[in-house]
Amino acid sequence: MFKYFELNKIFLITSKAPRYVLFLFIIVLSIGLLEALIFSPEDYKQGDAVRIMYVHVPSAWISLGIFSLITLLSIIGYIFKIKNFFLISKSLAPSGFIFNIIALVTGSIWGRPTWGTWWAWDARITAMLILALFYLLYLLAWRVFEDKDKVFKATLIITILGIINVPIIKYSVDWWNTLHQPASINIFTKSSIDISMLFPLMIMTAAFALFSLLIFLMKYNTELIKIKNKGLDRL
Amino acid sequence: MINDILIMNGYGLYVWSAFAFTLVSFASLYFITKTQYIKERNKFIVKFGTLNSERVSLAKSQGMNKEILSNTSSI
């Protein structure tokens, strides 16, 4: 099974993929922007301010998804000693962090017209801020530690501690009284959001997922070339 | 119609600034990542150029090295 993790074979695919992903991303993003800014209806309560949802919600979803994936890969990588999983995690982190920042900033912009404030120490907002700090710690750990074993251990600890925060973000709206409304989209039950708003939301989520894939591939290729650079030194 | 899209019943400033922040963040991350990629690839090409013929043939036996050198158009 592990022969599929050979860097030479992986690079043959990942080096060619970014140009196609970039092309697809531009197309999907263009459709998403048209839907989100022009064709989707305004909300009966929030008016046009609801359009901020189309960048805020996908960003929050993807930042949570990436952190969960990083944690899973770090745990599996540590248990089965698959260094490549740590490399994949490292390459995923920058886009996860940026999406977390976008979720915080766009949430703050959305909060002003809807709640009348730029910031509140609401459970979900605070938990998202804490997640951003864990992302920052994770990225810093890769810069601070030179020794591979130390960095693997440090990033594993950071992700395990950080993952505790993920269910808190998800269920904070149910556990506490927060400014955020309860979830409008449910996988197992009927969603309360109308299809005219759900469609652009899904398109924008697909576009953002493609962007994180693009950044991941570019970053991963950079990391592989770094390894090869060290290899040339040893020749 | 364009005015309606820009003003958005008074919410235009909020909506457009949220979308602008998102797109600027995307562009910044893309160009930072691309710059890092090009820097590492150029470093590789320079190092490869300094190898003697014996080491070049040894390095070329690895598929990934050939791929890095051939993939100059990149992203």
Distance CA B58, CA A54 (A): 52
- Domain positions in chain B: 2-70
Name the pLDDT band for B73 (thresholds 50, 70, 90): very low
Q: Say which residues have a Cβ less than 8 Å from residue A114's Cβ, sequence separation at least 6.
A: A46, A49
Q: Which residue of B has its CA nearest to A98?
A: B25
Q: Which tokens is B63 given?
A: 């598929």
Per residue in B22-64, pLDDT (tens digit) is: 999 999 999 999 999 999 999 888 887 777 776 667 666 666 6
Widest pairwise Cα distance in chain A: 67
Q: Which residue of A has its CA nearest to B61?
A: A8
What ipTM was estimated for this complex?
0.90
Identify residue B46 by its one-letter amino acid code. Answer: V
Q: Tell me how close the Cα of B27 comes to any Cα of chain A, in angstroms.
A: 10
Q: What burial letters (b/e) apply to A196-216, b meaning 16+ CB within 10 Å?
A: ebebbbebbbbbbbbbbbbbb
Contact check, Cβ <8 Å, B29/A95? yes
Do residues B65 and A230 make contact, with C-beta atoms less than 8 angstroms apart? no
- Domain positions in chain A: 19-37+48-183+191-225
Is B57 at the interface with chain A, CB within 8 A?
A: no
A12, A38, A218 ranked by CB distance to B37: nearest: A218
Per residue in A42-93, pLDDT (tens digit) is: 888 889 999 999 999 999 999 999 999 999 999 999 999 898 999 999 999 9
Higher-pLDDT residue of A112, A9: A112
A18, A51, A225 ranked by CB distance to B41: nearest: A225
> Chain A residues with CB inside 8 Å of B29's CB?
94-95, 98, 215
State the DSSP string of A48-60: GGGGGHHHHHHHH
A6: three-class secondary structure by DSSP? coil
